[in-house]
Structure 1
Amino acid sequence: MEFVFEDCDQISNLQAMNYWTNHLISESNTECFHAAEALFTLKGSLGRSQQLGCSSIVKYPCRMQWPCRLNCYKLKDPGGIAAKVDGNNDIPTLTPVQDAQVINKQGGRRAAAATVGGAAAALIVIAIVVVIYICLMRLKRIMRQTSESASSMPSPTVEMGRSNESAQVNELSPHYAHNARQLTISELEQATRSFNQSNIVGEDRFGLVYQGLLQDGSIVAIKRRIFSLMQDFTFQVRQISCIHHIHLVKLIGYYEDSYQQILVYEHLPNGHVGNHLYDSEGLPIGKLDLWRRLSIALGASKGLEHLHSLDPPLVHTNFRTRNVLLDESYTAKVSGYGFGTLQRQAAASSSCIDCFLDPELSSSENYTEESDVYSFGVFLLELISGCEVYNKNMSMAEENLAFQAKAKAKDSEGLEKFIDITLGEHEKHGGWRMMRLALLCIGMSYTRPSMGQIVQELERIQREIAPLYSHVNEDIAVVTLGSELFQ
């Protein structure tokens, strides 16, 4: 079937549309209704009043083929009717309904694919973040286990010799290397805001202690000595700067000029042990359980044992509770070691009675490892009783914890009263074991155990009481206490 319009001047647009529509409807083939719908669509778009001129329709064969397919005339824009196709306004077109549906379906599929792809990408990112978090937690756990194993490793065994000047160690010893940094005064002034009084956090025998912030972002404790400068300051710094142990406070740097001497240590946020045992009057506050106290005692004993294991041994000479500092996880670290000449001079010139000082010392020059053991025994007494060695309940200076412990050691009831009343009943047995060890430490010098033996005994006590503690108490709040550091 072929239709050709040769004279279009007398056929209006509407007439042409009606002609085609009626002719297609009259056909018996019902499937041609789709073509009719397309023509009605075009008819509506052209409007009721517009006419098509003869030039509007060019002769093209328009055949009806089976199934119904229109190979139709190409319509030209008469000037006022334009349908923009691919940016070309010259040719109006008819878009088949079926093709539009296919395009809509394809667009929907693309949108669905994009949604699925975005969700999958988000899941992948979440999975990566979770994996990284798990890896970091495992790495932290491994590092903590490594630190704990390193702290429990035995120190090198050496002959426990005697020396009139135990702090003077051999510079060629493999245990020592000069790692402390020589800092500039400008960096130290910047760290402490020109040694501002608001940065002062304590005072010890060396001098005032400042809290400072170095240029690398590390928080440090800076000890400054202005008067009575030490003659062998640099020598002693080089001797102790790289004595490395997890239970020893690390010396980071130093500075010296004709006016002042400065030591820079790592900063430990929880201050000394006394802050967590007793109040300002020296009476118990019950903050630490027996497991935590025993862990602190074990850490401090390992620090002293390491000093005594050096060749020749390094005697602390000033061990006391205020020189046992706690980091953010309550790991005990011994501070104030080295600089023995300075500490002995201060002890000899002091008019007050030092309760941590070995009473068998005949002079300030014969400090030995046994003298450190006596001081450690007094430290144990403070841990067990929860009281300061000399507190407000003492009527006389001679009546200190060591005196009371020896007096109450004669009967079990006295020992029970000596143990901190804030401890639970299930903790009393461990407290008795620690009490007996403390009494050995403050006994006669020839009967005192070595620091290595003290470490072993504390480890045995810890294994005995371990079943009472299914886990270490992690609920103890971390308190940043800056006062009285390194005293």
Structure 2
Amino acid sequence: MRLFWRQQLPLLILIQLLEPGRTSQQIYAKALLTFKSEGGSPQLSPGRIWTYPCLRQQPQVHCYKLREPGVVSLLYKSRLKRVEASVNGDSGVPTITPLQKVDVKKPSNKKVAAIAGGVGATLVVVVIVVIVYTCLMRAKRFTRRTSETGSSLASPPVEYESGNASPYGGLPYPYDMQNLRQLTFLELEQATCNFSQSNIIGEGRFGLVYKGLLQDGSIVAVKRCLHIHTHHFVHEANRIAFVHHIHLVKLIGYYEDNHQQLLVYDYISNGNVGNHLYDSEGLPIGKLDMWRRLSIALGAAKGLEHLHSSVPPFLHMHFRTSNVLVDENFMAKVSDYGLYKLLIDGDLAESSSMIDCFLDPELSSLKNFSERSDVYSFGVFLLELISGHEAHSRSQSEKQENIVLQVRSNNFDKFVDKALGDQTMDVAKQMLELALQCLDTLIRRPSMKRVAEELEKIQASKYGHLHSGSFEIGAVKLGSELFK
């Protein structure tokens, strides 16, 4: 038998390679039947197992001689089949039993990738849901705050349009207007109680002035101009809003349509200086002492100086006592700067230095207006502070000429306000000399920077640097707390 397997097994392997269609069971059965027909009888030796390597390369067949007599098992490893021959008695007929495949479960890489992808997708979805929820909650809170104020949504900031050039400036102004708000008419109606008569706090060249309360709690002064449409209104509003100074009233918003134009300013609680100098007939009331008057003059001078220091110079063009406002601490703030350009050019022709004594007598037209024209107006303002009289008295009992002609015809003692007292006459005299310099001919007038410096010298000489410095520090501190 040993010789038989040594001779026949290589042949069987070769047949398997040449005829892969024939099953292993058929080949092995044929081999066993051939072996039986030749009269071979397996000699089983108990206690030993024989292994016959047929080939050293795949496929291989290993034959085992079992310890139990009469059982021969042939295993074809490459096909995972097992042939078991059971020899029963003398017959020796083999029984062929296929070996079942053993399923070895191994973790699949595809399953691991699928699990990882699912976890990642879940995390992405959770993050998106959280972001969307946060945005919705913020929008809901914003809508709730807006609805509680009973007004429309907050006005958007205005962006300057470079193509909207002013005929007065020549070149466009590259200003960044982040704080100027384009308000809606509904907001202004609600702020002023539908422009109620009880909300009117003044009247100027631009129109009536209303006190109002915006949706954010800001107290404002709304100037309303009716039936006059200026094509460059937005451009001029941008120029005005660009200027910021502690002694200038801030423009915070505007509105315009075909029938009206409105400007919204910070509200200054104590009104204009004239309310504290003279009564309704323009006669002195003696409320302000010399220190207050000098401080107001210095603050107004610094405001005008800041306007003139701009490039190109920003001209007020309508400076007067009614446009110098004071807050609860009597800090002076210049208002209405730049508004004169929004009025029609014909208004200037209707005015003259005889009617409006603040107007420069050497000024022939609006195009000739310069910084020195503002200086002349400031000189008239100093005369009102010193005398306590309105520039052009409205008193029916006293038919007086305007204040400029009066100061040149009267002596100093008669001109100065009697409420100031004798102790401050030296300060009043120095202020009067400065006012006369401002009223001089055009080429001899000082600049606003020089005027502010002279007022600082007068203040320092009379009240000392310590007193002056404490006033300025207090003004800065209180300025941050205004209009809340």
Query: Cα 1:167–1:442, aligned 2, differ >3 Å: closer, same or farther?
Result: farther
Contact persistence 1:270–1:328 (CA under 8 A): yes
SS of 2:282's equivalent?
Answer: coil
CA offsets 1:353-391 (integer angstroms, 9 cap, x no match): 111000111223211111100000000000000111111
Structure-2 change in CA distance of 1:168 and 1:225 (3 Å): farther
Letter of the 1:204 partner, please give it: G
Q: What displacement does 1:186 show?
A: 1.3
* Structure 2 partner of 1:446: 443
**Aligned twin of 1:462:** 459
Structure 2 residue 380 is matched with structure 1 residue 378: yes
Residues 1:262 and 1:381: Cα distance change in structure 2 (over 3 Å): same
The count of residues paired between Structure 1 and Structure 2 equals 302
Which residue of 1 is the match for residue 422 of structure 2? 425
Cα deviation digits, residues 30-51 of structure 1 (max 9, x gap): xxxxxxxxxxxxxxxxxxxxxx
1:339 matches 2:339: yes
- 1:368 matched to 2:365? The reply is no
**Identity of paired residues, percent?**
55
Amino acid at match of 1:441: C
Q: Secondary structure at the match of 2:368?
A: coil
Secondary structure of the 1:365 match is helix
Alpha carbons of structure 1 residues 284 and 277: separation in structure 2 relative to 1, 3 Å: same
Indicate the SS of the match to 1:455.
Answer: helix
Measure the CA separation in 2 of the matches of 1:303 and 1:468: 21
Q: Decide whether aligned partners of structure 1 residues 252 and 169 sit closer, same or farther in structure 2, where only a CA change above 3 A counts.
A: farther
For the residues of structure 1 that align with 2:465 and 2:280, how far apart are their CA atoms? 31
* TM-score normalised by length of structure 2: 0.59
Cα 1:270/1:211, change in 2 over 3 Å: same
> Match of 1:171, SS?
coil
Please tell me whether the aligned partners of residues 228 and 260 of structure 2 are also in contact (alpha carbons under 8 angstroms): no
Change (3 A) 1:384 1:393: farther
The corresponding residue for 2:314 is: 314
| Cα 1:425/1:468, change in 2 over 3 Å | farther
| Distance in structure 2 (CA, Å) of the matches to 1:319 and 1:269 | 20
| Residue 355 of structure 1: aligned partner | 357
Gap change, CA 1:361 and 1:165, over 3 Å in 2:
farther
Q: Is the 8 A contact 2:357 2:391 kept in 1?
A: yes
The alpha carbon displacement at 1:195 in A equals 1.4
Contact 1:166–1:313, Cα closer than 8 Å, also in 2: no
Task: Provide the C-alpha distance between the structure 2 equivalents of 1:376 and 1:318, rounded to a whole number of angstroms.
Answer: 10
Amino acid at match of 2:182: Q
Q: After TM superposition, give the deviation of residue 194 of structure 1 in Å.
A: 1.4
Structure 1 residue 396, shift from structure 2 partner: 5.9
Amino acid at match of 1:358: D
2:299 maps to what in 1?
299
Q: Tell me by how many angstroms 1:201 deviates.
A: 1.7
- Distance change (3 Å), C-alpha of 1:167 and 1:317: farther
Is 2:412 aligned against 1:415?
Answer: yes
CA distance in structure 2 between the partners assigned to 1:312 and 1:166 by the alignment: 11
Cα displacement (A) at 1:262? 1.0
Distance 1:166 1:405, change over 3 A: farther
Equivalent runs, 1:197-208 vs 2, <5 Å: 197-208=197-208
- Contact in 2 for aligned 1:169/1:314 (Cα 8 Å): no
Aligned counterpart, 2:392: 390
Shift of 1:346: 2.4
**Partner residue in 1 for 2:135:** none
AA paired with 2:414? K
Deviation (angstroms), 1:169: 6.6
Judging changes above 3 Å, is the alpha-carbon distance between structure 1 residues 437 and 244 closer, same or farther for their aligned structure 2 residues? Answer: same
Letter in 2 for 1:260: Q
Mark the runs of 5 or more structure 2 residues left unpaired by the alignment.
Answer: 1-165, 472-484
Partner Cα distance (2:264, 2:289) in 1: 32
- Residue identity in the other structure for 1:324: V
* CA-CA distance at 1:259 after TM superposition: 2.4
Match of 2:190, SS state, is helix
Which residue of structure 1 aligns with residue 225 of structure 2?
225
Asked whether 1:265 is paired with 2:265, we answer yes
Determine the C-alpha separation between the residues in 2 that align with 1:251 and 1:184.
16
Stretch deviating more after TM superposition (200-209 or 346-355): 346-355
Name the structure 2 match of 1:434: 431
Residue-by-residue CA offset, 1:113-142 (whole Å, 9 max, x unaligned): xxxxxxxxxxxxxxxxxxxxxxxxxxxxxx
User: Equivalents in 2 of 1:345, 1:464: separation in Å?
Assistant: 46
- The CA deviation string for residues 248-302 of structure 1, in whole angstroms up to 9 with x for no partner, is 0000101112222111000001000000001111111111111100000000000
Where does structure 1 lack aligned partners over 5 or more consecutive residues? 1-163, 409-413, 474-487
Q: Offset of 1:178 from its aligned partner?
A: 4.5
Give, as a single letter, the amino acid of the residue that structure 2 aligns with 1:294: L
Q: Aligned letter for 2:294?
A: L
**Rg larger for:** 2
Q: Note the C-alpha offset of 1:168.
A: 6.1
> CA distance change for structure 1 residues 306 and 468 in 2, over 3 Å: closer, same or farther?
closer
Matches of 2:299 and 2:467, distance apart in 1: 20
Q: Taking structure 1 as the reference length, what is the TM-score of the superposition?
A: 0.59
> C-alpha displacement at 1:207, in angstroms?
1.5
Change (3 A) 1:265 1:470: closer
Q: 1:167 to 1:277 in 2, by over 3 A?
A: farther
Q: Secondary structure at the match of 2:405?
A: helix
Change beyond 3 A, Cα 1:374–1:393: farther
Shift of 1:417: 1.9
In 2, distance between residues paired with 1:241 and 1:168?
A: 19
Counterpart of 2:358 in structure 1: which amino acid?
F
- The structure whose RCO (Cα within 8 Å, separation 6+) is larger is 1
